[in-house]
Structure 1
Amino acid sequence: MQRQHSQGTPGTARTRDGRELFFMERPGPAGGARATVVFEGGLGSPRSYWALVQQAVSGSARTVVYDRSGLGRSAPDPSGRRRLPRLADDLNDLLDHLGPGPFVLVGHSWGGPVVRLAAAARPGRIAGLVLVDPTDEDCDLLFDRSIRRLEKVRYRAALLLARLGLFGLLFRKVTAALPADAAADMRAEAFTVAAVRTMGAEQAHVEADLRALLDHPPALGDIPLTVISATLPTPGMSAEARKSVNASHAHRARQSPRGRHVPAPRADHMVPTTEPGIIVTETERLLGAPVDGSPGC
């Protein structure tokens, strides 16, 4: 008998304009938490990146990971428009397919603004949000011209390395931390030219999308909100930049009447693989599941 994939059973959900989004689902235990946990990745991150966290949280609840359009096994977006509202609409289309909810949404990096915007559109079905080292419009540093120049340089380098078949070498620590089947999926799908182009299409509008959030902040009401901040050095990020980013995280948590800011003492930006247990603990806290303080992964 074929062994089940560590990320569960595959499926597809159709967006409002007919694109197919690929997802994988673990059903959770009988009598587990009522809410379904859905994970949203950062720029260029496929479903595989969440394998450690998903596997642990599925001991308490139904869990779903998916690929955004143009990533992993999801169909590309022929419009080429990968603006933040479109990403949030796609997430809401996936949630529609999964059922009435409630949902706990967990978003890493650029996935943070995605889940906030999606939750604000349909707050009645959201039981909680976990933002994992998220991109946040309150961080002034993100609007600096030097950041845009760095993004362009990194994109060109990533595209070249992908064409040479070498891009995945930069993420060996990430894939080494994952279960073997998820790691194999990530190596096969996450570092292709097509995946890098999708990342570039989303990255091209980051500043404009962040300014739109400043002008029209997503209204989350009293949805429980946890913001997790990395604390260890991240390549390309200075100590001063980290301080600014984490200050924006603390600010985001304070905007919620049920907000919580949690430093991850053993994690750099890649929290889902460097300190997955803290995400598990905070997600289970929102689920109301027992939390024993163990790392869970």
Structure 2
Amino acid sequence: MTHTQGESEWVPTPDGRRLHAMVLPGPESAAEAPTVVFEAGSAASRSSWSRVQPGVARHARAIVYDRSGLGRSPSDPNGRTLARMADDLNAVLDHFGPGPFVLAGHSAGGPITRLAAATRPERIAGLVLVDPTDEAADVLFSSGFRRAERLTIATGAVLARLGLLRVTFRPLLRGIPDDVRRDLEREAFHPGVVRTQREQARTFLDELATWRGEAPDLGAIPLTVISGALRGGGFTASTRVEAIEAHARRAAASPRGRHVIAAESGHYVPVTEPQVIIEEITALVNPARGC
């Protein structure tokens, strides 16, 4: 029986590592449509897209993958800078190319997709950023936010060592396919995941801060930004308002930008309102369908 997220495939990187991907081929009638590639959040794997990818695959080839140190992909001995993660995403696109591609990025995956797209904009047919981390939100660079991030990672490390990390994310395991849940139980809650999260966080915000002066140039790439409307998932009422405002500015800065509110979601829109994301991706894959 085919897995919910498709067939596994290993993607080589230029420096000799391997990244694990899963591919749903899409319908034959969509052979000329852009391929959709998904980028997960900071400590998340391909499994975080399990309620979105199959719906997108009704219209186009849909590919999820695990960044180094997450899911089934081995860790990266040379660090996890934002630039290096974007290079890995471009390696995935090279492997499944030549394109065109629509990229979808959730949370910290938003900046990764933006940077990868700006490197080779000619092969990018659109971007969908789902409650993305965005440098326009001042709170990201406050001392309080950085302290909270360090505390979250330290707490996660303790819970992972005790085998309790999965309890924290139990609500996100409800309503997902059984095969995906089994993948998460095997892959998502061990100490190595937290080590990767810590390594990513080491330079992520510092790199992102430099974008406040000069952000990656996306040109006229069609851009949709989806914001969760509700607090929770690390957001207070005030930081949720700030995130939505940052997302609105990101969409407005694009000549082909669109801002969408997921009214029933907090940060984890791919789990709580997957259909909102599916509809926005489909509109970019097949513009004739509209939204």
- The TM-score, its normalising length taken from structure 1, stands at 0.95
> Does the alignment pair 1:162 with 2:127?
no
Equivalent residues in 2 for 1:141-290, closer than 5 Å: 141-288=139-286
Amino acid across the alignment from 1:187? E
Q: Residue 215 of structure 1: CA displacement?
A: 2.8
| Distance across 1 between alignment mates of 2:119 and 2:214 | 13
Aligned partners of 1:71 and 1:190 also within 8 Å: yes
Is there any run of 5+ residues in structure 2 with no aligned partner, and where? none
Report the Cα distance in structure 2 between the residues aligned to 1:116 and 1:43, rounded to whole angstroms. 15
Q: 2:61 is aligned with what amino acid?
A: R
Separation in structure 2 between the aligned mates of residue 12 and residue 266 of structure 1, nearest angstrom: 36
How far did residue 178 of structure 1 move? 1.3
Residue in structure 2 matched with residue 124 of structure 1 by the alignment: 122
Q: Is the 8 A contact 2:283 2:290 kept in 1?
A: no
Q: What is aligned with 2:51?
A: 52
> 1:291, CA displacement in angstroms?
5.2
Question: For the residues of structure 2 that align with 1:122 and 1:209, how far apart are their CA atoms?
Answer: 20
Q: Distance in 1 between matches of 2:11 and 2:245?
A: 37
Counterpart-to-counterpart distance in 2, 1:190 and 1:291: 36
Partner SS state of residue 31, structure 1: helix
- Report whether the alignment pairs 1:73 with 2:68: no
Aligned to 1:112: 110
Letter in 1 for 2:58: G
**Letter matched to residue 57 of structure 1:** V
Shift in Å at residue 210 of structure 1?
1.2
CA distance in structure 2 between the aligned counterparts of 1:70 and 1:28, rounded to whole angstroms:
28
**What's the offset of the Cα at 1:236?**
3.5
CA drift of 1:242 comes to 0.6
One-letter identity of the residue aligned with 1:225? L
Residues 1:86 and 1:177: Cα distance change in structure 2 (over 3 Å): same
Which segments of structure 1 move beyond 6 Å, counting only runs of 4 or more? none
Structure 2 counterpart of 1:276, which letter? P
Q: Give the CA deviation at 1:292.
A: 8.7
User: In structure 2, how many angstroms separate the alpha carbons of the residues matched to 1:228 and 1:213?
Assistant: 20
Q: CA deviation at 1:269?
A: 0.1
Q: Report the Cα offset of residue 148 of structure 1.
A: 0.5
**Residue 177 of structure 1, CA deviation:** 2.4
Superposed displacement of residue 278, structure 1: 0.4
Q: Find the counterpart in structure 2 of residue 10 from structure 1.
A: 8
Matched, 1:42 2:41: yes
State the alpha-carbon separation in 2 of the partners of residues 93 and 284 from structure 1.
24
For residues 100 and 208 of structure 2, the distance between their equivalents in structure 1, rounded to whole angstroms, comes to 27
Are the aligned partners of 1:281 and 1:291 in contact in 2 as well (CA < 8 Å)? no
- Matching residue of 1:100: 98
Alignment partner of 1:248: what SS?
Answer: helix
Aligned residues: 290
- Write out per-residue CA displacement over residues 16-52 of structure 1, whole angstroms, 9 at most, x where no aligned residue: 1111000000000011151000000010100011011
Measured in 1, the distance between the counterparts of 2:215 and 2:234 equals 28
SS at match of 2:42: coil
Deviation at 1:150, TM superposition (A): 0.4
Q: Is the 8 A contact 2:233 2:268 kept in 1?
A: no
Q: 1:135 — aligned with what?
A: 133
Q: Deviations over 1:252-285 (max 9, x none)?
A: 0011100000000011100000111100010001
Secondary structure of 1:214 counterpart: coil
User: What secondary structure, in the 3-state scheme, does the structure 1 residue paired with 2:29 have?
Assistant: coil
Aligned CA-pair RMSD: 1.2
2-structure distance, mates of 1:207, 1:5 = 35
Alpha-carbon contact 1:60-1:289 (below 8 Å) kept: no
Q: Post-superposition shift, 1:243?
A: 0.5
5+ long unaligned stretches in structure 1 = none
Structure 2 counterpart of 1:93, one-letter code: A
**Alpha-carbon offset, residue 290 of structure 1:** 6.7
